[in-house]
Amino acid sequence: METDYQAIITQEPGKRGGRACIRGSRIAVADILGWLAVGMSDEQIIADYPELTREDIRAALAYAADRERRTVTAA
């Protein structure tokens, strides 16, 4: 099952330099990916950032996977 990240991930030119963020926040997809990369669990991330949901974290992963697929395909 794929997460529909398009309803969750937004990009606004004036926010975080236009980086992909969780809607309604300044938390970037790259922030979430970094936290996961250093071994933080979903629960730890949500404890530190209670405005995030598990669905937000999955959307960040889905966005990154889709972007990677598009980058490889375009090359």
Q: Name the one residue in this structure whose structure tokens are 């969750």.
A: 8
Q: Indicate whether 74 belongs to any domain.
A: no
Identify the helix (H) or strand (E) that includes residue 39.
Answer: none
CATH of the domain at 53: 1.10.10.10
Q: Tell me how far apart the alpha carbons of residues 42 and 46 are, in angstroms, rounded to a whole number.
A: 6
Q: What is the pTM of this model?
A: 0.85
Q: Residue 37: which domain range? A: 5-65
Q: Tell me how far apart the alpha carbons of residues 16 and 13 are, in angstroms, rounded to a whole number.
A: 8
User: DSSP secondary-structure letter at 43?
Assistant: H
Per-position pLDDT tens, the chain of length 75 = 456 899 999 999 989 999 999 998 999 999 999 999 999 999 999 999 999 999 999 999 999 999 888 876 555
**Total domains present in the chain:** 1
Q: Tell me how far apart the alpha carbons of residues 4 and 61 are, in angstroms, rounded to a whole number.
A: 11
Q: Indicate whether 26 belongs to any domain.
A: yes
